[in-house]
Amino acid sequence: MTAIAAEARRILADLGVPETRFAGGTLPVRSPITGEAIGAVAEASADDVPDAVGRAQAAFLRWRLVPAPRRGELVRLLGEELRAAKGALGRLVTLEVGKVVSEGLGEVQEMIDICDFAVGLSRQIGGLVLPSERPDHRLAEQWHPAGVVGIISAFNFPVAVWSWNAALALVCGDAVVWKPSEKAPLTALAVDALYRRAAARFGADAPDGLATVLVGGRAVGEALVDDPRVPVVSATGSTRMGRAVGERLARRFGKAILELGGNNASIVTPSADLDLTLRAVAFAAMGTAGQRCTTLRRLIVHADVYDALVPRLAGVYRAITVGSPVAGDALVGPLIDGDAFAAMEAALAAARAAGGTVHGGGRVEVEGEGAFYARPALVEMPGQVGPVMEETFAPILYVLRYRDLDEAIALQNGVPQGLSSSIFGSDLREVERYLSVQGSDCGIANVNMGPSGAEIGGAFGGEKDTGGGRESGSDAWKGYMRRQTNAINYGRSLPLAQGVRFEV
Ligand code: UN1
């Protein structure tokens, strides 16, 4: 067994995952660092879904009776387990999906942060009291848990996405059933073990089946989405996947929380601090090897600062370190697999065919044939055409030139996706115009930073082909609950709303 496989197995065993769950199964797991097999996970089939949902439903019926602040205690314990295991779980994220070390740790920190947020939330879930138009009446609304929440997550944030959904859903009083990415089941099993530790410490109030992991393929996801006992499904991944999930759910009036593709842009105005812009663009476009849904994919640069910025940026692209996340301190690790590399190559070929000038790109030999490392590519484009309109999950940054802010905003908004965006500049008028109703049409619009690396405190998600869902902070918790409006008559007469008379 190689060093990477041995280390992954040791971490899983230390975290309490039984060997039967990560070895000897039918689903092979490969580390993108070397391409080698590091586990073989037992898979669930679509036939296992009704049983898992049934257990979750039974758990929900009990869990909803536990007071919300007490439910928060379970999430507090989960946060404690995550704090204690941060190093190990972060490392496993690195081994399984190839994130550089600080990003693997950052992912676990995001989980800890959302647990803290959810603990506070467990004492703040509340509804409005509104003025009634009738005397001696009270008009109010309250929030009840929705039920079983399905969670479908992607490889690129293999565990944080579960926590944004699960930490909120659990304090809201829901049960969760999780189908992780088939490319990243090991980290999901590790999180499952940590959850079980927290639940064991919490005691009998946390029923069996409250949080379940089902490792499996598309059929498992479909069975989850089609089960009428699952009122809410939160799905993260491609727009294609999300469209399929959204349509299936809509057929049975299930609620969808969709976090799908991004094609995120930043506008660099003439008043931008170019040193800061350069650093921000480097992280946003090349961090996580371009495999975040918030990755910066389009840079829209004012003609007056184009020549001061773009050649320097090309220099950064030439110099950035690409390498194994477990040997040395490269900033850019591997792509998830050969398909991802092929998609990057195809996008660069299409960009060239459309008149683009490509700086960088191409395969970097790091760990042999089975691993796919790519030099990030900066592509100067004559216009917003061809691959610029699409999300390619790889480190490609297209650069466009503009003269007028409204033209830049139109370019930014002129793609199907609407997740994240940003502007660089110190001209208050331009910045505020960008944030105004005439500005960015995205779910996230930042100033003097890139579009990626969101904090958990804000609502996370985007518009248009990004799916419209919101997860994480602010009032995203409402997506995991059902709202009930209550009109209460505490008088002795029966005035009808709208002045209607109906005397019998
Ligand atoms: C994703 O890529 O699916 O804002 C989520 C960010 C991270 C989350 C990315 N906090 O980049």
Q: Ligand 1 centroid to 184 CA: how many Å?
A: 16
Whether residue 330 sits in one domain with residue 247? no
Q: Is 236 in the pocket of ligand 1 (CB under 6 A)?
A: yes
Does 212 fall in a domain? yes
Whether residue 226 sits in one domain with residue 340? no
Q: Ligand 1 centroid to 157 CA: how many Å?
A: 7
CB 188 within 8 A of CB 215: yes
In ligand 1, which atom is closest to the CA atom of 455? 10
Give catalytic residue positions: 259
The closest of 156, 160, 180 to 27, measured between CA atoms, is 180
Domain tally, the chain: 2
CB 460 within 8 A of CB 454: yes
Whether residue 315 sits in one domain with residue 220? no
Whether residue 86 sits in one domain with residue 234? yes
Whose Cα sits closest to atom 3 in ligand 1? 293
Does 504 fall in a domain? no
Does 129 fall in a domain? yes
Q: Is 453 in the pocket of ligand 1 (CB under 6 A)?
A: yes
Q: Is 163 in the pocket of ligand 1 (CB under 6 A)?
A: no
Q: What is the pTM of this model?
A: 0.98
Q: Is 82 in the pocket of ligand 1 (CB under 6 A)?
A: no
Q: Ligand 1 centroid to 241 CA: how many Å?
A: 18
Q: Ligand 1 centroid to 139 CA: how many Å?
A: 39
CATH number at residue 398: 3.40.309.10
Q: Is 165 in the pocket of ligand 1 (CB under 6 A)?
A: no
Domain that holds residue 427: 264-447
Q: Is 454 in the pocket of ligand 1 (CB under 6 A)?
A: yes
User: What 3-state class would DSSP assign to 409?
Assistant: helix
Q: Is 157 in the pocket of ligand 1 (CB under 6 A)?
A: yes
In ligand 1, which atom is closest to the CA atom of 420? 4
Dump strand ranges (E) for 289-447: 296-302, 357-360, 363-364, 373-374, 377-380, 396-402, 417-418, 420-424, 444-447
Q: Ligand 1 centroid to 158 CA: how many Å?
A: 11
The sign one gets for the Cα dihedral 157, 159, 160, 163 is positive
Does 181 fall in a domain? yes
Q: Is 294 in the pocket of ligand 1 (CB under 6 A)?
A: yes
159: its two tokens: 């565990």
CATH number at residue 254: 3.40.605.10
Does 4 fall in a domain? no
Does 93 fall in a domain? yes
Helices 303-319 & 274-286 angle (0-180, nearest 10):
50
In ligand 1, which atom is closest to the CA atom of 154? 3
Please identify, among 417, 447, 477, the residue that sits at the C-terminal boundary of a domain: 447
Whether residue 278 sits in one domain with residue 163? no
Whether residue 416 sits in one domain with residue 297? yes
Whether residue 308 sits in one domain with residue 283? yes
Give the ranges where 320-381 is alpha helix by DSSP (H). Answer: 338-353
Pairing of strands 463-464, 420-424: unpaired
Whether residue 186 sits in one domain with residue 146? yes
Whether residue 238 sits in one domain with residue 92? yes
Does 132 fall in a domain? yes
Whether residue 142 sits in one domain with residue 71? yes
Whose Cα sits closest to atom 7 in ligand 1? 453
Whether residue 71 sits in one domain with residue 204? yes
Residues listed for the chain? 504
Q: Ligand 1 centroid to 59 CA: how many Å?
A: 30
Whether residue 419 sits in one domain with residue 292? yes
CB 298 within 8 A of CB 285: no
Residue-by-residue pLDDT tens, the chain, 504 positions: 789 999 999 999 999 999 999 999 999 999 999 999 999 999 999 999 999 999 999 999 999 999 999 999 999 999 999 999 999 999 999 999 999 999 999 999 999 999 999 999 999 999 999 999 999 999 999 999 999 999 999 999 999 999 999 999 999 999 999 999 999 999 999 999 999 999 999 999 999 999 999 999 999 999 999 999 999 999 999 999 999 999 999 999 999 999 999 999 999 999 999 999 999 999 999 999 999 999 999 999 999 999 999 999 999 999 999 999 999 999 999 999 999 999 999 999 999 999 999 999 999 999 999 999 999 999 999 999 999 999 999 999 999 999 999 999 999 999 999 999 999 999 999 999 999 999 999 999 999 999 999 999 999 999 999 999 999 999 999 999 999 999 999 999 999 999 999 999
Does 462 fall in a domain? no
How many CA atoms are closer than 13 Å to the CA of 117, on its beta-carbon side?
A: 25
